[in-house]
Structure 1
Amino acid sequence: MSRSPLLHLTRAGTDRGPLPGDDWTTFTSNHSSYQAVVQAQVQVQALPREGGPGAGSIDNPVPGFSWGLQATVVLDVGLFDGVQRVVFGHGLTYWLHRLLLVDAITYLTDRKLSLGLERHILVDIDDIFVGKEGTRMNTKDVRVGGVL
């Protein structure tokens, strides 16, 4: 993921590994109106083609096409028509796209519709004092753990 201004809940550079499914659309652009939000490395697979290699293949690449990182989510900042939009190259079944959708709503509404980043964790420590003998924690154990 890039350091896009769109990111709010989602943190850049956290998810690494293969993308789920095989029906992804990737985007390339050489215009400043489009910014890559999420990038993935393309895996080259030999596909059977009729009539030889087509446009965009390894043998016949289109200008600006790279087999390196490709954008799977793009932010259009609206330089052409004044309308900002976010384009996803896959559906919302991928968990990261769900977070990015929330970030996109936050960004496109100028943070009017946003979720705060503050979170609270409730730790119920009274249950750890009533366990079996030998597994129970005492007050000293809890203080050492930094809870009290």
Structure 2
Amino acid sequence: MAALICTKAGHRPRLIYRIHLNRGPAKGRRKGFTETDYARLLDAAHQQLGGPIILVWDNLNTHVSRTMRELIAARLWLTVYQLPPYAPELNPVEGVWSHLKRSLANLTKHSLDQLTALVKTRLKRMQYRPRLVEGLIAKTGLDLQPP
């Protein structure tokens, strides 16, 4: 899973996410999101928001790779700021994962498809709770409003 919390002056904050399923061993293939997957997520956010994006990102190896830097450089509407290393308290998306995990605690699903459907439902609910998303941003202490 990957998610972005997006703010735009005069609008409610938005949670934009993608889920990537790994259905078993794939020799030589990355299990998580690739740089291209992240680029597609950013392109989708750009389309939905209809304007330039200032991205505040953690230091996940995929986020700071040479390939990702090249993909970012090709997107003139994108400005990226890296969070300091080991600073999850500054990343509002960490709050999304924490909230999601708490909402899934003590639930049993019998298949990956059932779990995926439940995760999508919970993330969709978060998308329609702007006060929750605002709280996740506020908890970081960062001012994410564009100048």
Q: Shorter-chain TM-score: what band? A: under 0.3
Structure having the higher Rg: 1
Q: Normalized against structure 2, the TM-score is what?
A: 0.23
**Which structure dedicates a bigger proportion of its chain to helix?**
2
